[in-house]
A and B are shown apart, each in its own frame.
Chain A
Amino acid sequence: MTVPVELERHIDEIVTHYPPDKTRAATLWLCHLLQEYFGFLGDEQVLWISNKLGLQPINVWEVVTFYPMFTTKPHGKFHVKVCRTLSCELCGCKNIVAHLRKKLGVGLDENTTDGLFTISTVECLALCGTGPVMMINDETFENLTTEKVDAIIDRIRTTGRLDAQPLPMPLAAHPLEKRVLLSNITKPGYTGSLADYEREGGYTALRKALAMKPDEIVAEVKNSEIRGRGGAGFPCGLKWSFLAKGTGKPVYLVCNADESEPGTFKDRQLISYDPHLLIEGILISCHAVGAKVAYIYIRGEMPGGAKILQKAIEEARAKGYVGNGVEIYVHRGAGAYICGEETGLIESLEGKRAYPRIKPPFPAVVGLFGCPTVVNNVETLANIPHIINKGSTWFKTMGVSGSTGTRLVCVSGPVKRPGYYEFEMGKLTLRQLIFDVCGGLKDGRTLKGVIPGGSSMPVMKADQIDVPLDFESLRKAGTMAGSGGIIVLDDSVDIVGATLNVAQFYAHESCGQCTPCREGTLWMEKMLHRIERGEGRPLDVEMLYEVADNIDGKTICPLGEAAAWPVKAFVTKYREEFEKHGG
């Protein structure tokens, strides 16, 4: 096996993104690059990487087999990856898969005899509003129909290559929206370049921040009462103030761009259409917390986003924003939802299996490379320039007490106008969102339920949706704002099937580290498969609930809850549907 000089040079450069004694962190990057070149990661590639980084082969092998994007045997030249997760299933992805299999004459994960194609199903690609979706290699295809699939495949067959897909046009704002973070993206001619961003006032906040003392920035962010937008809703300023001080170790800032909670596709929009807003937010935050290096951990299935960020960082470097005391590096994931959990993310950034850490210690004390670390979501960080520019008092005029500012929400499922929107928190109810903003349900359907914050959050029944969209109101309603991914279920949805789809996601994404989640999630999936097949037994419904309950609260990381809550909620709220399937 020979690695071309060019590629090795690139690899050597990537390795410098990490501290000299922590180059194991480059493992995922090297896996990506060698797989891109060789088509797969076999024995030779594993040994090459372990030699390069001074690791044991098992260290690399563990990683290769953990992340679904890495493959140990060659795929077809065009790897067709169709999303199978809930929002896409609600939009008919099963038909798309069936159609593809028939058209290409292969089963899942088999290569066509001409070596051109392999079809796989994958978990949510963070494109839920435009489902069904698929990726072919690094390109993304949305709103699929069988005709569209035919056209795509036929074109590849005739031309022998894959066309680069342009970014879709950004969605125009609905009158009920309050666009702050998304304010630039629909401006005529706005491309998200540094020049465009600066023309709209970009990087003035950074200048302002650099003239402030770090403590002042932290105080301003604290005063804004902004809560994290990644899912847990933890107050951002407070998190920053927890950072261990005077440790003599560097501080790291990590931007969580793993966006993989099913139903969520908001961070993708910020990255795609206004990357400098995020870069500026990161630079200000680094100044505030004293970080000299920031990593953007972007999920592996967003290669386009990674390129956009890379380019934006280079633009910002040319202008001296980046590289003058603060470095920003892009770190690509490789298809594991658990990398969204902040300590799983840190382990993955360190080049390991994304095994969430037991806490304490918290990342603010022992985080990336054993150093104090702040992990923030893309959207959280994108708010920082606005808070610095216009002040925390202005920020608090938006939203309601306990939920200040705006929030990006993503709506998917059978509504007339699915998509991403930005609202002041607490100023709009779920009902208004679904019926006024999204135009109600498609095809004369009626509402059956809504999952309000990504598929891990407890479902709400159709009569529970008169609740304002903010952290506290949703919590009082027995669910959570979560990641802002709202999945709508109509009367045609089979709840058992939907529960199975969700359970399958969490079983697939369980890192396997701790007993209840590792064993319980797969057990639930298997039970639901059986119930869906019509082989349910009267005791199964109770058992399903109990298994979920035995996971809930007993695990290392909140994926346990994320897997248990939806099952518990579906079983409790739609019990009769399970019993219908049961014997």
Chain B
Amino acid sequence: MADNTVNLTIDDKAVVAPKGMNLIEAAKLVGIEIPHYCYHPKLCIAGNCRMCLVDVGMPKLGADRKPEIGSDGKMVVMFGPKLVIGCNTTVADGMVVLTKSPKVVKAREGVMEFLLINHPLDCPICDQAGECRLQEFSVDYGKAESRFVEEKVHKPKKTALNAKITLDDERCILCSRCIRFMRDVAGQDCLGFIQRGSHSTLTCYLGNEPKTNYDLNIVDICPVGALTSNDFRFQQRVWFLKQTKSICPNCATGCNTVIWSREDVVYRQTPRDNNDVNQCWMCDYGRINYKFINDPHRLTTPSVKSATLGQRVNLTWPEAIRQVVDKLRAAKRDSLAVIGSARATTEELYLLKKFSPSFAAYIPRVGTGDNFLLNTDRNPNAAGAMLTGFSSDYSVIADGIADGKIKTLIVLGEDAIVPELLAKLELLIVLDILPGKTTEAAHYILPGVTFAEKSGTFINAKNRIQRLNPAIPPLVGTKPEHLILSALLAELGGKRYATIQEVFADMTRDVPALAGLNLSKIGDSGVEVKS
């Protein structure tokens, strides 16, 4: 037996667990769930909900210090007089844990009943319905019928914890997860319980509300519907929503996320566990910044600026591709530049770079960071841009346009060159999702899609390559950029890529850092690339 592991038995299953692990985690290793509310793997242990009570015993040792064998041929186990909480009990060699014994089930039913007697049980109008741990376990352990006939304790309902979060104290089960998160993780000790006993009430001090960039995480970790996000309240029943694994596109940290969508609308983003990136948190700035996906101003049709009519004319996709290819064929290769966005995927950037071996730059995007998740680099894929040959110094391109060296420009999702310069170009092709100064100046607009509508990868500040997955179909009239670029390249005599996998495979040959990788190797949690 290795020094740092112990052997124990949980519900007749043999478990090898690392020393120091608690019983909830050890049970998870063998697929056993010990129900719990207050325990959270990333927070300190509170031990207050008492939902995780289990029966723990040790083998009875005979005179020879060896486990005694009973008449039934089984090891005699000495169980403690009391149940213990799984969240604060660490594994020990020889330990025998029962998570479903009658004693445990009775205790759990007791705790469930206690949690429910003063709970409003307004599930039909509760946002949390469908992802409420109380509702979930009450189905398994709660008594169907309440024998509580007394008056319930009343507490403040629907108060504004801050501008982002609504608090319903009657639903709160006082697990203190939110308090511990704000104090120990977000670094603002602002939540607390006031009063005591059954009247205990979660609150913050007036004028000292949660005001960090991480507040919304408490909505995620609240096991019930006591804390709800104003952005999401009553918008949708969660069970109607599709969940898609994604990456936040708002900074170079690349928090792993889940996009919650229905049909072609995205309703929210929540963090997804990845201990190498964001643990299980994300920042509010990133979380909230998804509204552009369903922006009514989205570009939805290719168009050309007609020199004769002096206005924009819509084109069909085949026509647009044909015209752009014609124009590109006529353009001189050494006067062509590309501006890529470090918000674009690595695959898109890789394809874009093929248009111009000489001038390729991306636009840096800098903001204030913190020492937790939010990075000063607000581009999710600057590392990918650099690996695929884009320079952060786009002044070269601006200068090139100014002195007439650059006559053709393809812009992918940026709006950084001033209109006076853009006006000097002979050909400006823009792939973007929303109108801006650059699309206004563009000869051709080819409408692309948002991160929620496509596949691809981002490489974060720590050189971790991570995957995007399409949560919703491309908006009608738009096309994922890798398909647009690959169609153009094919018409210009290059290879025609049918899938993102093919693009990726070629990219691994051209970009040494990515050698040997493929999309399935990257998986859901990403891998570090050689820098």
Contact residues of B: prevailing secondary structure: loop
CB of B363 to closest CB in A, whole Å: 41
Counting CB contacts under 8 A, is A511 at the interface? yes
Digitize A507-540: 1 where CB-to-B-CB distance is under 8 Å, 0 elsewhere: 1111111111011111100110010000000010
Q: Which residue of B lies closest to A57 (CB)?
A: B205
Contact A58:B48 (CB < 8 A) given known A527-B150, A530-B150? no
CA distance A490 to B149 in the complex (A): 32
Digitize A55-70: 1 where CB-to-B-CB distance is under 8 Å, 0 elsewhere: 0111101100110000
CB of A365 to closest CB in B, whole Å: 14
Partner-B contacts on A (CB < 8 A)? 43, 46, 56-59, 61-62, 65-66, 336, 353, 358, 360, 507-516, 518-523, 526-527, 530, 539, 543, 549-551, 553-556
Interface size class, chain B: 35 or more
CA distance A519 to B51 in the complex (A): 14
- B114 near A58 (CB under 8 angstroms)? no
Residues of the B chain whose Cβ atoms lie less than 8 Å from the Cβ of A56: 189-190, 205, 208
Contact A61:B83 (CB < 8 A) given known A514-B50, A556-B47? no
Partner-A contacts on B (CB < 8 A)? 45-51, 53, 81-83, 85, 88, 106-107, 110-111, 113-115, 117-118, 147-151, 153, 173-174, 189-200, 203-208
Cβ-defined partner of B196 (8 Å) among A58, A59, A511, A527: A511
Contact A65:B194 (CB < 8 A) given known A56-B205, A58-B205, A555-B50? yes
- B48 near A556 (CB under 8 angstroms)? yes
CA distance A513 to B50 in the complex (A): 10
Contact A519:B114 (CB < 8 A) given known A61-B205, A555-B50? yes
CA distance A519 to B172 in the complex (A): 13
Interface centre among B45, B48, B53 (most CB of A within 10 A): B48
Residues of the A chain whose Cβ atoms lie less than 8 Å from the Cβ of B51: 515
Residues of the A chain whose Cβ atoms lie less than 8 Å from the Cβ of B46: 358
- B153 near A522 (CB under 8 angstroms)? yes
Q: Which 4 A-B pairs have the closest CB atoms?
A: A550-B110, A358-B47, A519-B114, A512-B200
Cβ-defined partner of A510 (8 Å) among B83, B193, B196: B196
CA distance A520 to B114 in the complex (A): 6
Q: Which residue of A lies closest to B89 (CB)?
A: A360
Q: Which residue of B lies closest to A338 (CB)?
A: B196
CA distance A46 to B207 in the complex (A): 13
Cβ-defined partner of B45 (8 Å) among A57, A358, A513, A520: A358
CB of A59 to closest CB in B, whole Å: 7
CB of A68 to closest CB in B, whole Å: 9
- A58 near B53 (CB under 8 angstroms)? no
Residues of the A chain whose Cβ atoms lie less than 8 Å from the Cβ of B196: 65-66, 336, 353, 510-512
Q: Which residue of A lies closest to B87 (CB)?
A: A358
How many contacts between A and B, using CB within 8 angstroms?
A: 126
- B111 near A507 (CB under 8 angstroms)? no
Residues of the B chain whose Cβ atoms lie less than 8 Å from the Cβ of A530: 149-150
Residues of the B chain whose Cβ atoms lie less than 8 Å from the Cβ of A46: 205
Q: List 7 A-B contacts (CB under 8 A).
A: A61-B192, A507-B198, A512-B195, A512-B197, A516-B110, A521-B197, A550-B106
CB of A89 to closest CB in B, whole Å: 20
Q: Which residue of B lies closest to A508 (CB)?
A: B197
- A507 near B194 (CB under 8 angstroms)? no
Given contacts A512-B195, A518-B197, A526-B151, 8 further A-B contacts (CB under 8 A): A57-B207, A58-B189, A58-B204, A509-B197, A516-B111, A518-B174, A530-B150, A550-B110
Contact A512:B115 (CB < 8 A) given known A519-B198, A522-B198, A554-B50? no
- B194 near A523 (CB under 8 angstroms)? no
- A514 near B48 (CB under 8 angstroms)? yes
Residues of the A chain whose Cβ atoms lie less than 8 Å from the Cβ of B150: 523, 526-527, 530
Residues of the B chain whose Cβ atoms lie less than 8 Å from the Cβ of A551: 110
Interface centre among A58, A353, A513, A527 (most CB of B within 10 A): A58
CA distance A550 to B45 in the complex (A): 23
Residues of the A chain whose Cβ atoms lie less than 8 Å from the Cβ of B114: 515-516, 518-520, 523, 550
- B193 near A515 (CB under 8 angstroms)? no
CB of B150 to closest CB in A, whole Å: 4
- B48 near A513 (CB under 8 angstroms)? yes
CA distance A550 to B53 in the complex (A): 12
- A512 near B174 (CB under 8 angstroms)? yes
CA distance A185 to B114 in the complex (A): 49
Q: Which residue of A lies closest to B103 (CB)?
A: A553
- B148 near A523 (CB under 8 angstroms)? yes
- B81 near A519 (CB under 8 angstroms)? no
CA distance A514 to B115 in the complex (A): 10
Residues of the B chain whose Cβ atoms lie less than 8 Å from the Cβ of A527: 150
Residues of the A chain whose Cβ atoms lie less than 8 Å from the Cβ of B195: 65-66, 512
- A510 near B197 (CB under 8 angstroms)? yes
- A512 near B190 (CB under 8 angstroms)? no
Residues of the B chain whose Cβ atoms lie less than 8 Å from the Cβ of A514: 47-50
CA distance A550 to B147 in the complex (A): 14
CA distance A380 to B372 in the complex (A): 50
CA distance A360 to B83 in the complex (A): 14
- B81 near A553 (CB under 8 angstroms)? yes
Contact A510:B50 (CB < 8 A) given known A58-B189, A515-B111, A523-B117? no
CA distance A554 to B174 in the complex (A): 17
Cβ-defined partner of B115 (8 Å) among A57, A360, A515: A515
- A519 near B118 (CB under 8 angstroms)? yes
Residues of the B chain whose Cβ atoms lie less than 8 Å from the Cβ of A507: 197-198
Contact A58:B153 (CB < 8 A) given known A507-B198, A554-B50, A554-B83? no
Contact A518:B208 (CB < 8 A) given known A59-B189, A554-B111? no
